[in-house]
Structure 1
């Protein structure tokens, strides 16, 4: 038997995995109820406790409640979304146009998580070979917040159809600060049983087994995994 005395109790482990598997990209289920300051602080603390290369902590958090600012962001989205739709044709384009891909005004709160590319100075421990580790670290902060939000019953939607330069201009970001994630946050009427894009037939989840390799690319990984878990 392996030594697992550092493992969480079973009920707590189940909670962690439940948050992972039930996390959803929310777009259509937002309620107008505000997020309490206590819950928001817990979510931001969770994000702030993400791992980061060289402990650089490159993230900042812009909390956006202003309807005027959000309306400006929505205009940016609509412009980019119209351009994105033109990349598809026929039934695929019709399906794309029927998808709701943002909740900028419907959610009570928007949040932009940014990456300060100068944070930590010119020589950050562990960053000399892969300079984008600051961006990767900021993505971990996004994931921390997302999982904590699911545990709090708060929905999160990532609006990725935005031009970063235009978004930076609206939010007055310094030149060295990059907007990694523009998020919509709020309590929801429900968390869908499966990702919305999967439910609407845009894409299906790949099986874990077909993504596994042993020791090098393309070498089969013999261990079997339970399907659908």
Structure 2
């Protein structure tokens, strides 16, 4: 097989994909076709993993009862986060839309099997957390592939992980990493919503090398 030859046009499109990949909070309710969801999963599983361990576990959350459990988890966790803020900071936080749980047609929880048999421990002796990082790479691969097809993804992180794992009845040694809202966005944007709402701005200093 010959080496791939990625054209300048492809590289420009790839850069555009990075620019337009957003953390979506506002979704249309019409579902993504099942074959596209399957394609996204297969693409995500091309992500690199330590020792070829493939520690990611993608869980489709279809049960209304389990979704309600996650929604209650978010409400409790978000209230606790709000309680930790004061004054204008609390008001600004309360105004943010931090989840698309009620609109997104698809809910996907991602876990990591932190000590999988697959891979036979290669590369994990001194840094066992590399399984977690591998699973996060799979999430990002899923995210980029979704964005390339005009599909939005919102990563809900304001959740109690132990409660989420209990609600979803997964294996006890799986580590909860992400709860993803997936669907077609109501609008597309090339800048983060938090930036558009004035919560935070990108820092040019983060785009510089640090030399030692």
Match of 1:132 in 2: 129
2:166 aligned with 1:169, yes or no? yes
Match of 2:82 in 1: 85
Larger radius of gyration: 1
Aligned-partner Cα distance in 2 for 1:111–1:132: 22
1:152 to 142, 149, 154: 149
RMSD: 1.6
Match of 1:20 in 2: 18
Answer 1 or 2: higher relative contact order, Cα 8 Å, separation at least 6: 2
Q: 1:121 to 1:209 in 2, by over 3 A?
A: closer
1:67/1:105 contact within 8 Å kept: no
Deviations 1:80-101 (Å, cap 9, x if unpaired)?
0000012211111100001010
Structure 1-normalised TM-score? 0.87
**Structure 2 unaligned blocks of 5 or more:** none
Structure 2-normalised TM-score? 0.94
**Structure 1 unaligned blocks of 5 or more:** 217-229
1:23/1:150 contact within 8 Å kept: yes
Deviations 1:2-41 (Å, cap 9, x if unpaired)?
xxx754112222222211111111012x001111011101
**1:119 CA drift (Å):** 1.0
2:131 aligned with 1:98, yes or no? no
Match of 1:219 in 2: none
SS in 1 for 2:121: coil
Aligned residues: 210
Match of 1:39 in 2: 36
